[in-house]
Structure 1
Amino acid sequence: MANQLDEMSPELVNEEGRNINVIEKKLAAEVGVGSFIFELCLWLLGIIPGLIFLFMKISARNYFDALQQKIQHNASQIDNYLEQRVQILKNAVAIVEKAVELDKDVMKSVAAVRSGASLTDANRNEVASNLESAMGKINVAFEAYPELKSHRSLADAMQQNSYLQREITASRELYNDTVLKWNADIFRWPTKNIVAARSGFTTRIPFTASKEIKDQARATFF
Structure 2
Amino acid sequence: MSGWIIALIVIAIILVLTIWVIGMYNSLIGMRNRVGNSWAQVDVLLKQRADLIPNLVEVVKGYATHESTVFEQVTKARAGVVEVANNPNSTLEQRAAAEQALTNAMVNLRAIVEAYPDLKANQNFLDLQGRLASLEDKIAYGRQFYNDTVLKYNNRIMQVPTNIIAGMFHFQPAQYFAADEADRSVPQVKF
The answer for the alignment partner of 2:128 in structure 1 is 157
Percent of aligned pairs sharing the same letter? 27
The answer for the alignment partner of 2:47 in structure 1 is 83
Q: Which runs of 5+ in 1 are unaligned?
A: 1-42
Offset of 1:200 from its aligned partner?
1.4
Q: Report if aligned partners of 1:79, 1:124 keep a CA contact under 8 Å in 2.
A: no
Q: Report if aligned partners of 1:78, 1:172 keep a CA contact under 8 Å in 2.
A: yes
The answer for the alignment partner of 2:73 in structure 1 is 105
Q: Report if aligned partners of 2:38, 2:142 keep a CA contact under 8 Å in 1.
A: yes
Structure 1 counterpart of 2:38, one-letter code: N
SS in 2 for 1:46: helix
Higher helix share goes to which structure? Answer: 2
After superposing the two structures, state which structure 1 stretch, 45-54 or 145-154, moved more.
Answer: 45-54
SS in 1 for 2:158: coil
Q: Report if aligned partners of 2:77, 2:98 keep a CA contact under 8 Å in 1.
A: no
Q: Report if aligned partners of 1:182, 1:203 keep a CA contact under 8 Å in 2.
A: yes
CA distance in 2: counterparts of 1:70 and 1:114, whole angstroms:
24
Which deviations, in whole Å up to 9, do the C-alpha atoms of 1:85-134 show, x marking residues without a partner?
A: 11121111111112112323233223323323426543321232132122
Structure 2 counterpart of 1:112, one-letter code: G
The answer for the alignment partner of 1:70 in structure 2 is 34
After superposing the two structures, state which structure 1 stretch, 123-132 or 164-173, moved more.
Answer: 123-132
Backbone CA RMSD of aligned residues: 2.1
The answer for the alignment partner of 1:31 in structure 2 is none
CA distance in 2: counterparts of 1:116 and 1:172, whole angstroms:
17
* 1:206 paired to 2:176: yes
CA distance in 2: counterparts of 1:97 and 1:115, whole angstroms:
24
Describe the shift of the 1:83–1:147 C-alpha distance in structure 2 as closer, same or farther (beyond 3 A).
same
* 1:148 paired to 2:119: yes
Structure 2 counterpart of 1:183, one-letter code: N
Number of residue pairs the alignment of both structures matches? 174
Q: Which runs of 5+ in 2 are unaligned?
A: 1-6
Structure 1 counterpart of 2:18, one-letter code: L
After superposing the two structures, state which structure 1 stretch, 45-54 or 181-190, moved more.
Answer: 45-54
SS in 1 for 2:178: coil
SS in 1 for 2:142: helix
Describe the shift of the 1:164–1:111 C-alpha distance in structure 2 as closer, same or farther (beyond 3 A).
same
CA distance in 1: counterparts of 2:32 and 2:91, whole angstroms:
14
The answer for the alignment partner of 1:126 in structure 2 is 97
Q: Report if aligned partners of 1:85, 1:131 keep a CA contact under 8 Å in 2.
A: no
Offset of 1:212 from its aligned partner?
3.7
Report the TM-score, using the length of structure 1 for normalisation: 0.71
Q: Report if aligned partners of 1:129, 1:210 keep a CA contact under 8 Å in 2.
A: no
Q: How does 1:187-202 map to 2 (within 5 A)?
A: 187-190=158-161, 192-202=162-172
CA distance in 1: counterparts of 2:139 and 2:163, whole angstroms:
32
